[in-house]
Each structure stands twice: as C-alpha cells, then as structure tokens.
Amino acid sequence: MIDINIVADKETLGVQAAARGAAAIREAQARHGHATIIVATGASQFEMLNHLVIAEGIDWSKVTAFHLDEYVGLGQEHPASFRRYLQERFVAPLGGKVEFIPVDGEGDAEQEARRLGELIAGRRIDVCFAGFGENCHLAFNDPPADFETEEPYIVVKLDDACRQQQFGEGWFPSFDAVPERAISMSVRQILKSELIVLSVPDERKAKATRDALEGPVSPLHPASILQTHKNTVLFLDPPAASLLKRG
C-alpha cells in the first residue's frame, strides 16, 4: 500500500519526508535500542537529507546506514560517486556518529555485492529512504527489473534512459562518461524494509509516477512493485503528480 502525499513544493517535500523517516528511527531506537536504515542519493534526496540530519531526538551513534547503490569503477573522488555524496550530505553533517556501510564499486563488483549481502542479511530494516528514476527504476534496478532474486545486492547493467538521467542531472560531463554497470540493492531486499519513505519531485518524474502508481505491477515499471509493500509513504510535489488521475 502506498500512502500518497502531494505537497506544495520540494522544500516542503523534504521537510515532511525527513520528519516521517525520523519518527520511524526514533521509534525503532525506543523499541530496540538501535535502528538500521537505508539512504538514497540523487537530486531527489537533497532537501530530505538536509532536514534528516538536523532531526531532533535521534541518537545517531545507534544507527547503521546502508545505501542503495554505487557505480562500478567510479572512485570516491568523482563528483558523481554516491559514497562521496553521502559522506558530504549525510555522514559529515552528523559528525561521523552514524555507522555508514558504503557500497564500494572500485574493486570486484560481484565480491562486493556478496560482502554487502552478508552484512545486511537477517537485519531488521526500520526505514528505507528512496526515490525512483525517470525510467521508473527503483535503486538501480532498471526495467525490466529482477523481481525474483533473493540476493540483497546485485550487479546490474544500466539502461540508456538511466544513464541519460545521470548525465542530464549534471553528474557527468557526457553521456559516454556515465558508467554502464552498478551495484544495486535488489528489489526484494528493499521490500523487506518496515517503512519506505519516497521523495519524488519534478515534472520529469511525472510519467514514472503515473506508471508506478496507476499502472499494473510490472518489471517494466520497477517502482510499481511498491504497490505490494505493506507500508510505503510517497511525497510528491505538484509537477511530479501532474499526470495522476487522482492528482
């Protein structure tokens, strides 16, 4: 089930998405003494992360954070590195208190996927912060996505629409510079999260939003699988919601 929230603008979206996720982290710490979360990257997460790192009442020393994906072969010094993104926008603002488990795509990708799978296996995931792409991808699970694998992390080939989005957002100097492979959290691993908080702004996400929410559940529209999740909260701004019948 997806709880759809259309808010005034991107800043409000970030405030509300962060507040919903922060509440889940506080609840997990109150119940279990610790929280495990998944954090995402990309332009859609800027405002949410800005507000999450200043949320009150969270003991970040008792939080373990995984992240969704990373390019294969890209060094952390590259402006598009997701490890760099999260170090700068998440770990550093928290003073390094959070236990951050990065995806390292510079070595053997298959071995790294196995390493991460072993680290996350059997963990309770209290909240997953995510978005979805212009091609409706979830993490780097591009269409047609693998809805069946039980492996927590997998090595994937990025389709042209995904790579074009990364170039279009300004992370790379050219389309050809965008890597063709990535390590991604699998769809089934994402669905194991107790709560999924989605931040999806901008008109360029409007078609993907419609496909994810109003179309059938299909590997051709990977984010549509969230229709089957027990507790997903989606925050949209009006441009992203512009093609919805209900919007």
pLDDT score of 192: 98
Closest to 42 measured CA to CA, from 162, 164, 131, 114:
131
pLDDT score of 246: 65
Average pLDDT of the chain?
96
Question: Using an 8 Å Cβ cutoff, are 144 and 217 in contact?
Answer: no
- The whole-model pTM stands at 0.96
Q: For the segment 173-214, what is each residue's pLDDT rounded down to a tens digit?
A: 999 999 999 999 999 999 999 999 999 999 999 999 999 999
Stretch (H or E) spanning 50: helix 46-52
- CATH of the domain spanning 2-236, picked from 3.30.342.10, 3.40.50.1360, 3.90.1150.10, 3.40.50.300: 3.40.50.1360
Question: Using an 8 Å Cβ cutoff, are 226 and 189 in contact?
Answer: no
Question: Could you give the count of Cα atoms lying within 13 Å of 75 in the half-sphere of its Cβ?
Answer: 2
Q: For the segment 209-237, what is each residue's pLDDT rounded down to a tens digit?
A: 999 999 999 999 999 999 999 999 999 99
Confidence band for 1, pLDDT divided at 50, 70 and 90? confident
pLDDT score of 159: 94
Residue in the block written with tokens 């992370």: 171
Q: How far apart are CA 188 and CA 112, in angstroms?
A: 18
Would strands 69-71 and 181-185 be described as parallel, antiparallel, or unpaired? Answer: antiparallel
* Per-domain boundaries in the chain: 2-236
Q: For the segment 54-108, what is each residue's pLDDT rounded down to a tens digit?
A: 999 999 999 999 999 999 999 999 999 999 999 999 999 999 999 999 999 999 9
pLDDT score of 201: 97
